[in-house]
């Protein structure tokens, strides 16, 4: 099995969006280790993202988180990014770090708190108008810790009302993307815990409201590729937050914990037409590099997505469907596994070189001297988010 031109043409169109916060220092509630060379400004985060793109041609977009990436002039930031060869992507709102949101944001019982949270989203939409971003991504920390603490039903109703106010502000070219997460920081109930809730909320809003699937936001054992298939079927898969996890929301490098799961997810993306750029599915990373260097961490991540995409494109779908029709259980499984077990790395390296890219982007990064330069030049890099 080799990568034919049809597959390479599809791979050439692949766009992965990098999260600005992946370049900041991050950690656990126990410790944030500072990594030498960490960006001090949004501009430096963009420069690092552009480096990843320069060496891989896979990551021409950078997602921002507001207010972590707050600047005075977003039009200037847009030009700055474009001069580096990248564009500004999804704008992520943040209603989870201010004291006022202790008991919720868009779901809060107090209309004044909901107003503040809605206004923050208006500010994000204003930023999107200047950055040229299509997607407003909303992840809420809203939820409760103890049974009886909150009125689950009332919170759901207030969420619907708040989202409707935000949705009314987006332009026809923009989308509202609602992310779900089954727990954390709330431990008893979360107001958008699963794809079904996210789907119910966005379906009520309209066509330009879609779901974000963060691969780390499910209970262990969840069949994530099934959710992918279902959301694509319903025309509501807006974006991915790719990462990998061993236990909870670990935010580790995508494909590091379970490459086969990533393969299965991407197979369903392809099966449902989601790889077509016109399908509008944004392939974002949502990761933290706590102990490893961040730029090579992002390079490894985009290469993992590319490798699993290549393998998923290798599935002999005609043979697979025939085996499925015939009830050939082991035959169908063997066809699927043949593609998964194919090592595409040599073919991808040769293809990269033919496009003027380094055969081994991680080696090229190590030899480029970039890491040394940023370590020397940048002193006092910032934390990814909390406390930034």
Q: Give dist(CA 349, CA 371) in Å, integer.
A: 23
CB of 67 to ligand PSV, least distance (A): 12
CB of 249 to Mn ion, least distance (A): 4
Among positions 48-87, residues that touch Mn ion (CB under 5 A) are none
Go through the chain and tell me how many residues it has. 388
Residue whose CB is less far from Mn ion, 240 or 267: 240
Q: Give dist(CA 335, CA 330) in Å, integer.
A: 9
Residue whose CB is less far from ligand PSV, 64 or 305: 64
Query: Which alpha helices (H) appear in 223-258, and where do they start and end?
Result: 224-233
Q: Give dist(CA 151, CA 144) in Å, integer.
A: 9
- Where do contacts with ligand PSV occur on this chain (CB under 6 A)? 21, 92, 139, 179, 181, 214, 241, 249, 286, 385
Q: Is the alpha carbon torsion for 147, 149, 154, 156 positive or negative?
A: negative
CB distance 255 to 212 below 8 Å: no
Residue nearest to ligand PSV (CB): 139
Cβ atoms < 10 Å from Cβ of 69: 25
Among 17, 44, 69, 241, binds Mn ion (CB under 5 A): 241
CB of 388 to Mn ion, least distance (A): 17
Residue whose CB is less far from ligand PSV, 58 or 192: 192
CB of 5 to Mn ion, least distance (A): 35
| 17 interacts with Mn ion by CB under 5 A | no
Query: What is the 3-state composition of the chain as percent helix, strand, coil, each rounded to the nearest 5?
Result: 45, 15, 40
Among 44, 48, 54, 286, binds Mn ion (CB under 5 A): 286
CB of 194 to Mn ion, least distance (A): 14
Q: Which does 155 bind (CB under 5 to 8 A by kind): Mn ion, ligand PSV, none?
A: none
Of 6-14, 76-84, 286-294, 373-381, the segment contacting Mn ion by CB under 5 A is 286-294
Among positions 191-220, residues that touch Mn ion (CB under 5 A) are 214
Q: Give dist(CA 138, CA 219) in Å, integer.
A: 20
How far apart are the two ends of the chain, measured CA to CA in Å?
48
Residue whose CB is less far from Mn ion, 81 or 138: 138
Cα 290 to chain centroid, rounded: 17
Q: Token pair for residue 220?
A: 């262990």
CB of 23 to Mn ion, least distance (A): 16
Q: Token pair for residue 351?
A: 């293809």
Q: Which does 385 bind (CB under 5 to 8 A by kind): Mn ion, ligand PSV, none?
A: ligand PSV
Residue whose CB is less far from ligand PSV, 140 or 314: 140
CB of 19 to ligand PSV, least distance (A): 7
| 249 interacts with Mn ion by CB under 5 A | yes
Residue whose CB is less far from ligand PSV, 11 or 93: 93
Residue whose CB is less far from Mn ion, 17 or 214: 214
Residue nearest to Mn ion (CB): 241
Q: Give dist(CA 288, CA 298) in Å, integer.
A: 9
Cβ atoms < 10 Å from Cβ of 134: 19
CB of 20 to ligand PSV, least distance (A): 10
Q: Which does 95 bind (CB under 5 to 8 A by kind): Mn ion, ligand PSV, none?
A: none
Contacts with Mn ion by CB under 5 A: the residue count is: 4
The strand pair at 135-138 and 87-92 is best described as parallel
CB of 3 to ligand PSV, least distance (A): 32
Spatial neighbors of 71 by CB under 8 A, at least 6 apart, are: 42, 77
CB distance 89 to 239 below 8 Å: no
Residue whose CB is less far from Mn ion, 133 or 315: 133
Query: Which alpha helices (H) appear in the chain, and where do they start and end?
Result: 5-12, 42-56, 74-83, 111-131, 152-167, 195-205, 224-233, 259-271, 294-313, 317-325, 329-340, 345-354, 361-368, 370-377
CB of 286 to ligand PSV, least distance (A): 5
Element (DSSP H or E) covering residue 116: helix 111-131
Spatial neighbors of 36 by CB under 8 A, at least 6 apart, are: 374, 375, 378, 381
Residue whose CB is less far from ligand PSV, 249 or 307: 249
Residues that bind Mn ion (CB under 5 A): 214, 241, 249, 286
């Amino acid at each position: 099995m080799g990568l034919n031109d049809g597959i390479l043409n599809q791979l050439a169109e692949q766009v992965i969006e990098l999260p600005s916060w992946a370049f900041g220092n991050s950690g656990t509630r126990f410790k944030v280790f500072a990594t030498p060379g960490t960006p001090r400004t949004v501009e430096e985060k963009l420069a690092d993202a552009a480096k990843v793109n320069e060496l891989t041609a896979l990551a021409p977009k950078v997602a921002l988180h507001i207010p972590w990436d707050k600047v005075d002039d977003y039009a200037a930031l847009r030009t700055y990014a474009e001069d580096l060869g990248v564009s500004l992507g999804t704008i992520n709102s943040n209603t989870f770090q201010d004291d006022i949101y202790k008991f919720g944001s868009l779901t809060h019982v107090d209309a004044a708190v909901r107003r503040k949270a809605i206004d923050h989203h208006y500010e994000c939409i204003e930023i999107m108008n200047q950055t040229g971003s299509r997607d407003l991504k909303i992840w809420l920390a809203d939820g409760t810790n103890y049974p009886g603490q909150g009125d689950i039903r009332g919170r759901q109703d207030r969420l619907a009302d708040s989202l409707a106010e935000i949705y009314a502000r987006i332009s026809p070219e923009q989308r509202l993307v609602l992310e779900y997460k089954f727990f954390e920081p709330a431990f008893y109930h979360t107001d958008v815990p699963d794809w079904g809730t996210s789907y119910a909320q966005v379906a009520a809003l309209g066509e330009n409201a879609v779901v974000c699937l963060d691969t780390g936001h499910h209970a262990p054992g969840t069949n994530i590729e099934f959710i992918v298939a279902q959301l694509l079927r319903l025309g509501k898969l807006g974006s991915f937050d790719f990462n990998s996890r061993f236990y909870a929301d670990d935010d580790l490098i995508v494909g590091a914990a379970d490459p086969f799961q990533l393969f299965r997810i991407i197979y369903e993306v392809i099966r449902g037409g989601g790889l077509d750029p016109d399908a509008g599915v944004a392939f974002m990373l949502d990761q933290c590099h706590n102990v490893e260097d961040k730029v090579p961490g992002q390079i490894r991540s985009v290469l993992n997505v590319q490798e699993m995409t290549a393998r998923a494109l290798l599935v002999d779908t005609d043979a697979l469907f025939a085996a499925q029709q015939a009830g050939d259980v082991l035959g169908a499984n063997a066809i699927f596994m043949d593609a998964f077990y194919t090592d595409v790395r040599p073919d991808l390296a040769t293809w990269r070189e033919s496009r003027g890219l380094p055969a081994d982007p991680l080696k090229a990064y190590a030899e480029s001297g970039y890491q040394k330069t940023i370590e020397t030049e940048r002193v006092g890099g910032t934390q990814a988010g909390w406390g930034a």
